[in-house]
Amino acid sequence: MTTIKGPGIFLAQFMGDKAPFNTLDNICQWAAGLGFKGIQIPTWDPRCINLPLAAESKTYADELKGLINSYGLEITELSTHLQGQLVAVHPAYDDMFDAFAPSEVKGNPRARTEWAVQTLKQAAKASSNLGLNAHATFSGALLWPYWHPWPQQPAGLLDQGFEELARRWNPILDVFDENGVDVCYEIHPGEDLHDGITYEIFLEKVNQHPRACLLYDPSHFVLQQLDYVTYIDHYHERIKAFHVKDAEFNPNGKQGTFGGYQNWVNRAGRYRSPGDGQIDFKAIFSKLTHYDFKGWAVMEWECCYKHPEDGAREGAAFIEAHIIRVTDKAFDDFAGSGSDEAFNNRILGLDK
């Protein structure tokens, strides 16, 4: 078994215009001061990384890694959540998701997709240059508007949608494979990969590609009432990244999983800071340890109530307290009687 690495923190929700969140140096010093040992880097933020340069230049990658290491931190993974979203966008979301794209491809869905695919390939090479073996992203979605079967879905719609999604991702997965890096899809609402079944459909379409792996985030499963512990039993071999994010689900006589178009505070399903929600993280850390998860426990802060700085401070301690330092001996070794083949034969009555 392996001791899970951590605590780590995803920087995306913390980067800003004011110190200590305005530069990589400043936020590394802040994170280390809270007790974090790793950072997950949002590749769309140029204050954190120059992604094309990291893909091209091992020298730059080494310098970036050295800077982060100088604060006692490691890079857990690079993230292309926003760019991965743009690999596949249904036209209903074109205008809203254009916000994730550079100005030169806004309003041009085909060019935007090409840009996203190229960016993911750069992330594969950058991850390799940084010595990373896992990468966090979204799958994007062509079918999300049709997740509820009303009106009735035309025959073949789902199959065609997943075939197209696989067609776009296969070349990306191949580049990640060439660079020895796993693509870890965060199973998430708004993505075509939003539960175990949809992930399995995608796996079939990409011919069980060895790099089509998972980022495990139980918060999204609470909101859709999926068994987030048993999920690990099903997919532990593919889980290569882990977000520690809490959630709660409080249905009532007026709303449930659909949320009634309410804002985050008023929804039945809400994201919370680690320890403030309903998720059984003791069971999760035990289960991941049992299956020898070798990655990082990374806090992703999303909470409708708590201030992010308080969430980060508490989150570092929360993860640290849940990481199980694995034992190197059996608890009953003190009562061991020693053994050899002759002794075992005598116990079994085979020496008679």
Average pLDDT (175-190) is 98
Q: Which CATH number fits domain 5-347: 3.20.20.150, 3.40.50.300, 3.90.1150.10, 2.60.120.10?
A: 3.20.20.150
Residue type, position 184, single letter:
C
Task: Find out whether 65 and 126 touch, Cβ atoms under 8 Å.
Answer: no
76 membership: H or E segment, kind and range: strand 74-80
The encoded tokens of residue 168 equal 């776009």
pLDDT at 209 exceeding the cut of 70: yes
CA distance 352 to 348: 10
Burial 222-235 (b: 16+ CB within 10 A, else e): bbeebebeebbeeb
Phi-psi region of 220 (alpha: psi -120 to 50; beta: other; left: phi over 0): alpha
CA distance 246 to 69: 28
What is the separation, in whole angstroms, between the first and last Cα of the chain? 39
pLDDT digits over 59-92, tens only?
A: 999 999 999 999 999 999 999 999 999 999 999 9
Q: How confident is the model at residue 56 (pLDDT cuts 50, 70, 90)?
A: very high
Average pLDDT (333-350) is 80
Average pLDDT (190-212) is 98
Cis amide prior to 20 (ω within 30 degrees): yes
pLDDT at 334 exceeding the cut of 80: no
Task: Find out whether 204 and 166 touch, Cβ atoms under 8 Å.
Answer: no
Q: How confident is the model at residue 335 (pLDDT cuts 50, 70, 90)?
A: low
CA distance 73 to 286: 25
Q: What pLDDT shows up at residue 239? A: 98
Please tell me the pTM assigned to this model: 0.95
CA distance 183 to 303: 26
Q: Regarding beta strands 74-80 and 134-137, do their DSSP bridges make them parallel or antiparallel, or are they unpaired?
A: parallel
pLDDT at 337 exceeding the cut of 80: no
Domain positions in the chain are 5-347
Cis amide prior to 274 (ω within 30 degrees): no
pLDDT at 175 exceeding the cut of 90: yes
Tell me which residue of 126, 115, 136 sits closest to 49, measured CA to CA: 126
